[in-house]
């Protein structure tokens, strides 16, 4: 994510500072809110279970902590997913595949590093074959601690991600990135 | 039969083969000369009736030698034989036994990969777990971790220059020839249960051969265990098998107890049995449910997830964790179970046993489901033993072998339970449906064991007094239990210090993977998925 | 600009008349297409939400309930988000095929709406060969899937495409033959004609005309499920086998077209079965002539009522299809072919031949006709009662363990999630 611009230029409106009540700034913000409300309500995550956390990822879609409530359903193809939940340890052999999967996802895309292994290598960082944190391969939006995190924690991470999306000035930035 | 008797029989057939004999109540060791190893192994296979090879272990002992250990087993005779040989460290070369046991193929590849022992005559001696372009053998004692790999730093504080060119992908590559297609299934594929990779050579929908490519979750637990104390390795054993963590806990605890000579109090043993059997049900729920999901029925899987949540609640009361328990301790368990938890377990059993009937109505006797599994991927009993299949996969082939009954440990001899085997429920003995049914029946048996164990649990200590610093004498022990996916074993070699010399992990799934390769020709792509699901293979057990 | 297009179009199509006459026509066409699109969107969209809620109920979950009241706007969120996503065309893909395939797929689905009679006079155009047109135009879907599967240059997609082509072409046969029985019984290919040949009451439906037609309904419905790639015939996109099948490489908007058409098709197969067997929009106790002769508000009221009747019947069938999807596992590809060629095709052939014999021998209104109707109505009632009894018994048996637990211990879920 690039930094938020300190000056907002709305088309057909005078240039003005953010936060001021100029009419030109109001319209894009509202459209953003409108779009983000829909975008946050439809986070399709990739079914990508690498290790122990994968079981809790499945449980999170199960009856007790139903992620489908937030519109988060799993897709099996990375092309159609918005969210990559790296659920578990990533080894060097796997690392290239994770990069590939991330590259295959369509913008805007988000990454949750689920569990301590994905966040920093966790218990296995002394091992010779484990990537110490998935953030050295792909950019991570949210770190979720725990070994493994509970499904409730994953639900919370989805809600946090929704807050993240809600704040995004989509019209100006995310679209430009794509 | 003691080690001396075995050695005598081997000497009678092959003079001057035996170098030394170590007696042990469970696994007598016969040390032989490396030159005659293949002859001795062939003698053991044919004349001593050792039709199963449990494990091949190579132990790096600098500065001079590398030991290689073969654990053999004869199921009908309830007898084990452990062959050991000592190779020079500079040039560790020994004959292959992959022509005698099918399971040896992958064991030898793995030991070549990790320790660097060359097995002469092996058909395909390539790296198994590590990437092809990896340098060095990680389980050598003098192994140094590289600074970076493909532009990824190997420690969090290291910074490596970013590469512009994308590194090459791993995995075997083969040219597509005369009408068949190479299909890369995995490591990210919804039906491969984690990060297993299969290379399918297909002719349309018909698979010519499925070659497993593993190691995508190889975390080097064996090496980490060498850096840890005995008690400190316990959390790692959970992660060896994240669905059946209690059983791997118990296997590690048993191996260490055998090294130290510690007796577990009776209450501790009962608590272990309760925890392991609950965990077995939880694991089979995922195993059978994900099989149904692989075949396209999503609903049964979610219903089983709901049942599993109830077990997770109980597990939280027992040990405070949902998935990675670390409940066992060397000499007992971490904490006592209160009466209320036991009552709730009984209540849950009242609820769960009828639920098995619901699952059967929902999917188990569904005509489409039965037709997808019956007569598919038939594993005959002899082949199952040669591939060293264990647990429900072996019993699905009709072999009544259960460590709880046949190598009794803990308090299982006091408890009454059946060992269900496949008998061709809807087709042939040893087909995919038999393996599914054996898991279903085992859940019933586990419920039975749970009821008995809860009824008979004695009062008293739940953990033996063990010293804070564990320094077992230099010896070796092999603790093995019947885990949900078959035998889970830890072969531990100690050297008199706080840390083990070598830890070798035996899991059920590792030997199931080459079986997939041999069962695959002629199946359809959808059958491969049913086959993987019915063998209940999970990645961390394969790769460790 | 627009005028220029109109001129070119006119000369190209060799149309007579003034240029000015084409322009309004073009505008009307555009407007109608937009209207139809919105109309179809309202059919295809909410059913995805409905399916997910039903699936949630089946799996003792809840399903989407955050976007809008009880999540009813979930489909809008999914759609809008997909529109906003990046549109990826893989470098190795066959670009024209890849780009065009979703539109062909969607077009094949949208064109079926032309002849579907949603009410007494709510039909875009009542072609005299409506049924034939419908069977023919839905063949476009196969071409779209094949193009997507081949053009993606992905082996999983290719698998999906080829499977789908084999499946759709095979299942066209039992589907067409079972609809042939409908044509034989009613004597017309026009969709409105088929509806008007039936009546409002169940015993006037084709479903209960005679036992053979009763059987043909199930053949037809099973074949249309297969044509729509629904479980147990969802082989072309089986998630656990082929990752996502023929649309595995599609992202964003183009993927949306596939999903859109897939769920919309659910309505098409339900509507087709309703028209063919369940009496379409016919209101019980009201002759179609009454509706035809009414005027003004009464006319509009009758239209609305007939639409409601039609939608009610169709949604019951949609619900049935959703329940099947979340209950059954998937067939293997050879089993799928066996079901078609060994069972459904012979059944459909024999059935339509039998219907022909019955239509020729038994005049409508004769005692034998009434006897056949009574037999098939009895058959239907028995089936429904048996199903309800079995479902009830299974429900009671499964509820018992829960009740035992809940009664003892309030610590126990299942609690309702917010």
Instruction: Check CB contact under 8 Å for C77 and A77.
Output: no
Closest Cβ opposite residue B296 in set C234, C397, C408: C234
Q: What is the pLDDT of residue A23?
A: 46
Q: Is residue C250 part of a domain?
A: yes
Where do the H-state alpha helices sit in B177-297?
221-227, 234-240, 245-260, 266-294
Both ends of chain C: CA-CA distance in Å? 55
Indicate the residue of C59, C250, C417 with minimum beta-carbon distance to A69. Answer: C417
Q: Could you say which of A78, A97, A127 has the minimum Cβ distance to residue B220?
A: A127
pLDDT at B169 (0 to 100): 52
Comparing CB atoms, the residue among C62, C76, C417 nearest residue A38 is: C76
Q: What is the pLDDT of residue A3?
A: 47
B159-163, B516-520, C20-24, C137-141 — which is least confidently predicted? B159-163
Q: Locate tokens 């989805």: which residue?
A: A158
Contact A69 C77 (CB under 8 A): no
- Min distance C317 CA to chain B CA atoms (Å): 20
Q: Flag whether pLDDT at B394 surpasses 60.
A: yes
The shortest CB-CB distance from B527 to any of C332, C400, C401 is to C332
Q: How confident is the model at residue B280 (pLDDT cuts 50, 70, 90)?
A: very high
Q: Which residues of A touch C76 (CB under 8 A)?
A: 38
Helix axis angle, B525-535 to B432-456, nearest 10°: 20
Looking at the fold, whether C288 and C180 belong to one and the same domain comes out as: yes
C126 located within any domain = yes
A137 contacts in chain B (CB < 8 Å) = 152
Cα angle: C311, vertex C315, C317; to 5 degrees: 125
Sheet holding A45-46, edge to edge: A74-75, A45-46, A83-87, A110-114, A142-144
User: Cβ C63–A41 below 8 Å, yes or no?
Assistant: no
C69 touches A at CB < 8 Å: no
Q: Are C249 and A77 within 8 A, CB to CB?
A: yes
Q: Map residue C85 onto helix, strand or coil.
A: coil
Go through B304-340 and write b for each residue having 16 or more CB atoms within 10 A of its CB, e for each that does not. bbbbbbbbbbbbeebbebbbbbbbbbbbbbbeebeee
Indicate whether C246 and C333 sit together in one domain: yes
Q: Report whether C100 contacts C143 (CB < 8 A).
A: no
Can you tell me the distance from the alpha carbon of C155 to that of C179, in angstroms, rounded to the nearest whole number?
35
Chosen domain end from C324, C344, C359: C359
* Cβ neighbours of residue B97 closer than 8 Å, sequence gap 6 or more: B37, B38, B41, B53, B56, B70, B104, B108
Neighbouring-strand partners of residue A83: A45, A110
Percentage of residues in chain B having pLDDT higher than 90:
8
**Per-residue model confidence (pLDDT) at position C409:** 36
Tokens encoding B536: 């209940």
**Which chain A residues are Cβ-neighbours of C71 within 8 angstroms?**
69, 71
Compare all CA atoms of chain C with the CA of A177 and give the residue at the minimum distance: C86
End-to-end CA gap in chain A: 11
C409 and C386 housed in the same domain: yes
What's the ipTM?
0.83
- Tell which of C342, C359, C376 closes a domain: C359
- Looking at the complex, report in whole angstroms how far the Cα of residue B131 sits from the nearest Cα belonging to chain A: 6
CA distances from C391 to A157, B378, C396 (A): 39, 35, 9
Q: Do C147 and C252 fall within a single domain?
A: yes
Query: Quick check: is C167 in a domain?
Result: yes
**Residue numbers in B near A89 (CB within 8 A):** 217, 219
Q: Which residues of B touch A92 (CB under 8 A)?
A: 131, 134, 149-150, 152
Cβ–Cβ gap B323/A52 under 8 Å: yes
Q: How far is B510 from chain A (nearest CA, A)?
A: 16
The answer to whether the Cβ–Cβ distance between A68 and C80 falls below 8 Å is: no
Residue contact B302–C61, C-beta within 8 A: yes
Which domains does chain B carry? Answer: 3-165 (3.30.460.80), 221-543 (1.10.645.10)
Q: Smallest CA–CA separation between A37 and chain B, in Å?
A: 29
> How far apart are alpha carbons B334 and B341 in whole angstroms?
15
Residues C256 and C377 in one domain: no
How does residue C411 score in pLDDT terms, banded at 50, 70 and 90? very low
pTM: 0.86
Kindly report, residue by residue over B401-424, the tens digit of the pLDDT: 888 888 888 888 888 888 888 888
CA distances from A117 to A99, A100, A131, B249 (A): 17, 20, 8, 20
From chain C, the residues in CB contact with A70 under 8 A are 64, 66
Do residue C246 and residue C112 come from a single domain?
A: yes
* Residue C77, in any domain of the structure: no
Q: Are residues C354 and C224 in the same domain?
A: yes
Residue C38 lies in a domain: no
Q: What mean pLDDT comes out for the span A12-32? A: 50
CB C46 within 8 A of CB C78: no
Mean pLDDT of A2-10: 44
For chain C, the domain total comes to 2
pLDDT, tens only, B358-386: 888 888 888 888 988 888 888 888 888 88
* Over residues C127-140, mean pLDDT: 85
Q: Is the pLDDT of residue C153 over 70?
A: yes
Residues C314 and C401 in one domain: no
CB contact (8 A) between residue A63 and residue C414: yes
Residues 263-302 of C with CB under 8 A from A: none
What's the pLDDT tens digit per position in C83-125? 888 888 888 788 888 888 888 888 888 888 888 888 777 777 7
The partner residues of C349 in beta bridges, in order of sequence, read none
Segment C307-348, tens digit of pLDDT: 888 888 888 898 888 888 888 888 888 888 888 899 999 999
Kindly determine whether residue B366 and residue C332, on different chains, have CB atoms separated by under 8 Å: no
Structure confidence at residue A107 (pLDDT) = 79
pLDDT at residue C3, rounded to an integer: 66
Over range C13-40, report the average pLDDT: 67
B18-27, B84-93, B365-374: segment of lowest average pLDDT: B18-27
Q: What is the CA radius of gyration of chain C?
A: 24
Question: Which pLDDT score is estimated for B446?
Answer: 92
Q: Are residues C203 and C268 in the same domain?
A: yes
Mean pLDDT of B516-528: 87
- Does the pLDDT of residue C16 top 70, yes or no? no
pLDDT(B163) > 60: no
Distance CA A83, CA A80 (A): 9
Instruction: Indicate yes or no: CB of A73 within 8 angstroms of CB of C86.
Output: no
Among all residues of chain A, which has the CA nearest to that of C252?
A80
Average pLDDT over every residue of A132-153: 87
Which of C81, C88, C152, C234 to mutate: most A Cβ within 10 Å? Answer: C81
pLDDT of residue B178: 61
Contacts of B347 in chain C (CB under 8 A): 404-405, 408-409
Interval A53-65 mean pLDDT:
85
- Please check whether residue C57 lies inside any domain of the structure: no
Q: How confident is the model at residue B277 (pLDDT cuts 50, 70, 90)?
A: very high
- Out of A35, A42, A79, the one facing C250 most closely (by C-beta) is A79
Q: What is the share, in percent, of chain C residues with pLDDT greater than 90?
A: 3
Asked if residue C292 has pLDDT above 50, the reply is: yes
Q: Do C263 and C400 belong to one domain? A: no
Query: How do residues C192-206 score in pLDDT, each as one tens digit?
Result: 888 888 888 888 888
**pLDDT above 60: residue C406:** no
Chain centroid to Cα B399, Å, comes to: 18
Nearest CB to C248; choose among A79, A107, A178: A79
pLDDT at C11 over 70: no
Q: In sequence order, what DSSP letters do the residues of A82-94 get, joined into one string? A: SEEEEES--BHHH
Residue C311, domain member (yes or no): yes
Residue A171's CB: how many other CB atoms inside 10 A? 18
Which residues of chain A make contact with C87, given a CB cutoff of 8 A? 106
For residue C401, the chain B residue with the least C-alpha distance is B351
Query: DSSP for C263-302?
Result: HHHHHHHHHHHHHHHS-TTPPTT--HHHHHH--HHHHHHH
Of B201-215, C202-216, C285-299, C371-385, the least confident: C285-299
Expressed as residue numbers, the domain containing C405 is 362-418
Nearest CA in chain B to A89: B217
Same domain assignment for residues C281 and C392: no
Residue ending a domain, among C359, C385, C407, is: C359
Whether the predicted pLDDT of C6 surpasses 70: no
Nearest CA in chain B to C232: B296
Q: Say if C10 falls within a structural domain.
A: no
- Report the pLDDT averaged over residues C213-219: 88
C392 and C277 fall within a common domain: no
Q: Is the dihedral of CA B509, B514, B516, B519 positive or negative?
A: negative
């Amino acid at each position: 994510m690039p930094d938020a611009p300190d000056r907002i230029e709305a088309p057909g409106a005078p240039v003005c500072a953010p936060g001021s009540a100029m009419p030109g700034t109001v319209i894009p913000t509202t459209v953003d809110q409108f779009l983000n409300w829909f975008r946050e309500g439809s986070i399709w995550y990739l079914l990508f279970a690498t290790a122990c956390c994968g079981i809790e990822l499945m449980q999170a879609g199960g009856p007790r902590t139903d992620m489908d409530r937030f519109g988060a359903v799993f897709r099996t193809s990375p092309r159609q997913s918005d969210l990559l939940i790296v659920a578990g340890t990533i080894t060097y052999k796997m690392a290239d595949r994770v990069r590939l999967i991330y590259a295959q996802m369509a913008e805007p895309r988000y990454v949750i590093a689920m569990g301590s292994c994905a966040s920093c290598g966790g218990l296995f960082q002394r091992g010779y074959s484990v990537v110490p944190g998935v953030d050295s391969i792909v950019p991570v939006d949210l770190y979720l601690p725990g070994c493994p995190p509970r499904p409730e924690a994953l639900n919370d991470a989805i809600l946090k991600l929704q807050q993240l999306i809600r704040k995004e000035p989509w019209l100006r930035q995310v679209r430009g990135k794509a | 039969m003691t080690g001396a008797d075995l050695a005598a029989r081997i000497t009678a057939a092959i003079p001057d083969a035996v170098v030394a004999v170590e007696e042990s109540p469970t696994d007598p060791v016969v040390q032989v000369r490396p030159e005659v190893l293949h002859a001795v192994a062939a003698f053991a296979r044919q004349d001593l009736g050792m039709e199963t090879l449990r494990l091949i272990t190579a132990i790096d002992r600098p500065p001079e030698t590398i030991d290689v250990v073969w654990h053999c087993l004869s199921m009908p005779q309830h007898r084990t034989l452990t062959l050991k040989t000592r190779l020079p460290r500079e040039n560790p070369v020994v004959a292959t036994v992959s022509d005698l046991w099918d399971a040896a193929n992958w064991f030898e590849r793995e030991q070549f990969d990790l320790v660097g022992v060359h097995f002469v005559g092996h058909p395909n001696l390539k790296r198994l777990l590590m990437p092809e372009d990896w340098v060095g053998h990680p389980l050598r004692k003098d192994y140094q971790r590289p600074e970076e790999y493909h532009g990824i730093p190997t420690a969090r504080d290291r910074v490596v220059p970013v590469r512009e060119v994308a590194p090459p992908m791993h995995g075997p590559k083969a040219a597509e020839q005369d009408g068949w297609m190479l299909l890369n299934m995995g490591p990210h594929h919804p039906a491969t249960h984690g990060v297993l990779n299969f290379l399918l050579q297909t002719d349309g929908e018909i698979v010519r051969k499925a070659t497993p490519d593993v190691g995508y979750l190889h975390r080097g637990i064996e090496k980490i265990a060498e850096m840890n104390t005995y008690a400190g390795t316990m959390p790692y054993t959970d992660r060896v098998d994240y669905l059946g963590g209690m059983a791997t806990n118990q296997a590690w605890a048993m191996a260490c107890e055998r090294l130290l000579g510690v007796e577990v109090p009776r209450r501790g043993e009962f608590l272990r049995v309760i925890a392991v059997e609950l965990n077995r049900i939880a694991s089979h729920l995922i195993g059978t449910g994900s099989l149904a999901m692989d075949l396209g029925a999503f609903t049964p899987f979610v219903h089983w997830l709901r049942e599993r949540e109830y077990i997770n609640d109980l597990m939280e009361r027992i040990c405070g964790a949902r998935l990675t328990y670390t409940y066992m301790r060397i000499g007992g368990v971490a904490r006592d179970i209160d009466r209320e938890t036991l009552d709730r377990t009984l209540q849950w059993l009242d609820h769960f046993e009828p639920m098995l009937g619901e699952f059967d109505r929902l999917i188990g006797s569904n005509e489409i489901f039965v037709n997808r599994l019956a007569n598919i991927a038939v594993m005959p009993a002899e082949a199952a033993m040669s591939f060293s299949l264990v647990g429900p996969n072996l019993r699905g082939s009709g072999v009544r072998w259960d460590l709880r009954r046949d190598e009794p440990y803990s308090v299982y001899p006091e408890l009454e339970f059946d060992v269900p085997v496949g008998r061709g429920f809807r087709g042939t003995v040893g087909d995919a449906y038999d393996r599914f049914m054996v898991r279903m029946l085992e859940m019933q048996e586990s419920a039975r064991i749970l009821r008995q164990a809860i009824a008979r649990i004695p009062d008293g200590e739940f953990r033996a007094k063990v010293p804070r610093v564990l320094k077992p004498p230099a010896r070796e022990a092999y603790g093995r239990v019947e885990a949900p996916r078959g035998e889970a074993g830890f072969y531990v070699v100690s050297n008199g210090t706080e840390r083990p010399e070598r830890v070798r992990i035996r899991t059920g799934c590792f030997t199931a993977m080459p079986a997939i390769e041999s069962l695959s020709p002629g199946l359809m792509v959808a059958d491969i998925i049913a086959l993987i699901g019915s063998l209940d293979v999970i990645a961390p057990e394969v790769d460790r | 600009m627009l005028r220029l297009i109109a001129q070119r179009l006119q000369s190209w199509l060799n149309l007579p008349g003034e240029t000015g006459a084409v322009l309004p026509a073009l505008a009307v066409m555009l407007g109608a297409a937009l209207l139809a699109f919105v109309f179809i969107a309202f059919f295809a969209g909410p059913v995805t939400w409905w399916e997910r809620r039903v699936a949630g109920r089946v799996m003792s979950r809840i399903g989407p309930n955050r976007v809008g009241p009880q999540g009813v706007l979930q489909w809008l969120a999914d759609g809008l988000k997909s529109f906003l996503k990046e549109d990826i065309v893989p470098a190795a893909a066959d670009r024209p095929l890849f780009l065009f395939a979703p539109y062909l797929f969607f077009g094949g689905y949208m064109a079926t709406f032309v002849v579907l009679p949603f009410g007494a006079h709510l039909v875009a155009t009542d072609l005299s060969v409506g049924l034939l047109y419908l069977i023919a135009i839905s063949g476009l879907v196969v071409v779209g899937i094949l193009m997507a599967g081949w053009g993606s240059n992905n082996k999983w997609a290719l698998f999906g495409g080829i499977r789908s082509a084999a499946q759709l072409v095979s299942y066209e046969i039992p589907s067409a033959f079972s609809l042939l029985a409908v044509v034989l019984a009613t004597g017309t290919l026009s969709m409105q004609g088929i509806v008007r040949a039936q009546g409002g009451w169940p015993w006037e439906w084709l479903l209960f005309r005679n036992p053979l037609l009763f059987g043909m309904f199930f053949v037809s419905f099973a074949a249309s499920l297969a044509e729509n790639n629904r479980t147990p015939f969802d082989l072309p996109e089986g998630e656990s086998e082929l990752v996502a099948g023929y649309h595995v490489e599609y992202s964003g908007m183009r993927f949306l077209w596939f999903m859109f058409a897939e769920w919309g098709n659910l309505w098409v197969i339900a509507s087709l079965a309703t028209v063919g067997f369940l009496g379409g929009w016919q209101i019980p106790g009201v002759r179609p002539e009454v509706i035809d002769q009414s005027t003004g508000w009464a006319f509009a009221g009758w239209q609305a009522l007939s639409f409601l009747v039609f939608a009610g019947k169709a949604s019951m069938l949609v619900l049935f299809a959703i329940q099947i999807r979340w209950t059954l596992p998937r067939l293997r590809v050879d089993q799928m072919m066996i079901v078609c060629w060994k069972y459904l095709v012979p059944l459909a052939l024999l059935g339509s031949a039998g219907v022909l014999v019955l239509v020729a021998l038994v005049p409508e209104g004769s005692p034998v006709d009434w006897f056949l109707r009574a037999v098939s109505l009895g058959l239907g009632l028995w089936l429904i009662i048996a199903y309800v009894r079995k479902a009830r018994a299974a429900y009671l048996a499964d509820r018992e363990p829960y009740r035992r637990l809940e009664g003892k211990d309030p610590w126990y879920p299942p609690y309702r999630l917010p």
